[in-house]
């Protein structure tokens, strides 16, 4: 959430979810239009709102990257670094499931 102030009420900050912001206009006051079609007039300039949204997104993404790296840093001494996600080693073939049709290599072709 980003913190903004209603125009004329600078001592009463409130939070807006940046994912709901559709537009930020300067007409001459700054009007923030939300996806809910609500319009909020704020004391901050459009540039300040954009900077706050950018900083919020950077914080969210950096936290996600920190969490992702945290899982990889754990290492199994026999297998090497832990991997996240469904990464498959393309050099090995999966075992054939019984009842599935034989591949061309297995049929000798």
Q: Is the pTM of this model over 0.95?
A: no
Could you report the per-residue pLDDT of 47-101, keeping only the tens digit for each? 999 999 999 999 999 999 988 877 554 555 555 555 444 454 555 555 556 666 6
pLDDT of residue 72: 53
| End-to-end CA, the chain | 61
Q: Give me the residue spans of the domains in the chain.
A: 2-75
- 31-53 exposure pattern, b = at least 16 Cβ within 10 A, e = fewer: bbeeeeeeebebebebeebeebb
Q: Tell me which residue has tokens 């125009």.
A: 7
Largest distance between two CA atoms of the chain: 82
Which has more confidence, 20 or 70? Answer: 20
């Amino acid at each position: 959430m980003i913190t903004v102030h209603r125009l004329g009420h600078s001592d009463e900050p409130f939070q807006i979810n940046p994912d709901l912001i559709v537009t930020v206009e300067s007409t001459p006051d700054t009007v923030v239009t939300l996806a809910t079609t609500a319009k909020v007039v704020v004391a901050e300039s459009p540039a300040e709102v954009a900077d706050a949204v950018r900083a919020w997104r950077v914080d969210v993404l950096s936290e996600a990257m920190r969490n992702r790296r945290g899982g990889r840093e754990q290492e199994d001494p026999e297998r090497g670094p832990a991997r996240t996600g469904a990464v498959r080693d393309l050099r090995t073939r999966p075992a054939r499931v019984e009842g599935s049709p034989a591949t061309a290599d297995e049929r000798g072709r």
